[in-house]
Structure 1
Amino acid sequence: MSHDIVPTDHPSAPARQFPVDDPGIEHHVPRYTDVDVAAGNRAYRNILAMFGLVPVLAIAFVVIYFAVPKTAGFDVLGNNFHAQTLFLGLTAGLAVLLIGTGMVAWARDIMSDQEIAEERHEAGSDEETRAAALVKVNAGITDSGVGRRKLILGALGGGMGMLAVPAVVLLADMGPYPLAAKRAETIEKTIWAEGVRLVNDVNELPLKASDLEIGQLVNAEPETLFKLHGHEYQTEKAKSAIIIVRMDPASIKIPASRKDWQVDGILAYSKICTHVGCPISLWEQQTHHLLCPCHQSTFDLGNSGVVVFGPAARSLPQLPIKVNAEGYLVAQGDFPVPVGPSYFERDSSKDFKEGDQ
């Protein structure tokens, strides 16, 4: 049996609006929560329970943060678990999971279950269409069940609101407030102190004036650095690293205010560039210049570390040194100014400038 195929553009072909016929909406099958009142009430209570547990978990998060020591831990099957981190993750994660699970259950079991199909309209809508859309929005709010089960919305709002509490508490882990007193005892202070010996950062051997020749540069650290471990070691090394240079005293400028900061032309400067904090050790013996490899800031170590080229805006901090009774080079104290890059709150009035005495 055969049929003649009529082209769609043939005059006798039926008019078609779409390339595929609209199948329509399938027959609606009521949900079990709509048919069984008891099941609907159970779903409602389950959703309330999930939303209600969120504030409890948020409060537990805060309690754990302050009550559980950061060093506490326990072993399970040979693995050590950090107690505070584990419990904070569990409480915060469960709270977020319950919010998501509760909203999914709300949409699946409580909200309206009627399927709707509409043709796509133009991107821009007229006033009449907008008014009709608002009617549908209000109808959707009604279908959500908020009117009949008002506690759901309140429980959701309470849970979402309480989740902000752990987030606020976690802000404390971003570090202490950078007040002047806190800066003075942290970023503006190093472990250099009176009598601390200068040691070679490679072999950790203390240095004597006789160990250095004119034109030589040595990378050094405070002897006390190597008694530290972990993050304390890394933090202090980033601030306390120095370079030691020896120059002919007759070829360098030593202002009166720094006359006793050096030992026979041996001077110590911070190794940290005052531009963005790169370590410096490119030494030009003839010009007494120290060049930063990152952005080419150049400091004249023969003239109190002043900037002679590049983007750095501050002289390189100089560490006052002397010789102890055993002949070793030691610090007279800490740097007189903070080392490293500048920052807004920093007092730059004590920085050395060209012409200072």
Structure 2
Amino acid sequence: MRTQMGQTPLFFAAARRRQMLVQRGISVHHKDGNSQTALFYASRQGRCEIIQYLMSQGADPNVVDEFGETALFYAVRSKKTAAATALLEGGANLEVVNNAGNTCMSLAPATVFPALQEERKKRRLYDDDPGPGPKRQRTAMEALRAWASEWPAEEPIPRKKIVDYKQEDIIDKTDGYAVLRRCPEECAAQLRVSEKHFVADHAQLLQEETWFHDLSPEEWCKGVGVIADETGVAVKAIKAVVAGNREHRFTLPLVEVESKSLAGYIHVGWKPEEEELSIKQLKVNDKDMNRGLGKLLLAAAEEHSRRMGWTCTGTSLSVLASNERACRCYSGAGFKKESSRSASWGKKGHIASDWQRWKKVTKHAYDKKSPVGQ
């Protein structure tokens, strides 16, 4: 017997704690008119023992319905934390994106969110290869890269990962790339992913240290002056900067022209009392390196500060002595080392490499004829 939506008695049994129908040969793989299986019904109702039983009989927790959602979405939306945990233990994918661009985590009520976040932390420690046998534990560096690549938990994923802009938004450009004077707020989550890779890039320079595996992502963030956050605070802070709501700070996106995808960024602060521009972060995505884009971002930051009317006689930044590639970039852009101090890492204060302060005279410092506000 099937209903008009194509449901079999198993669907209703899934919601009523009955297992005998499976034993009588009714398929756990059957889908109704919404492409949902009995597992969806059990998940929506929070029937943990039925969920576990259906999966033991071969029910797939990663079946996607016509809305692009798995059974996990329904457990999460219904605030059934135990059911969500049972699905995750059965291999449910935490990162599925539905038709509206949401993941389970971006939709999760506050009561369910901590369980999902804890599961995500566990999963970044193991290789996600679905092959047979036990999962391979990742190295500490691989686990950190897995953390860096995770989409910000409470943010929907844009259907088209592009940065829309007009020609007048371009500050500077080179073959195939452009630096823009503003970044749409919806790109804040993408910027956060790049920012986390900025953290991982620095950590990678120290991966041969004996204490490397002891540090958490939060400790690495603190070591390079990045917000250590798993709950959305960092993305909100980035949104405030790109919207122009943070005085004396700006972020400029680097865009690959053909795809209009984010290729990097530069985050800058201004110290008006010192008339100094301070480079806080500069990141070029790995696939876009070795094209002179770091110098492009630095030049664009100076030009943008001039257009904003900021008085800057110099530009400064900090760089790890062990970051030879960055040092070559800054030297080529006219920066010179001024001072050095030991770099401390983690709660135990491990010492490795030095933070070097580099500075240069700003290009427009003495150009009194340069118009302001253009």
TM-score tier after normalising by the smaller chain length: under 0.3
Give the structure with higher Rg (CA): 1
- Highest RCO, 1 vs 2 (Cα 8 Å, sep ≥ 6): 1
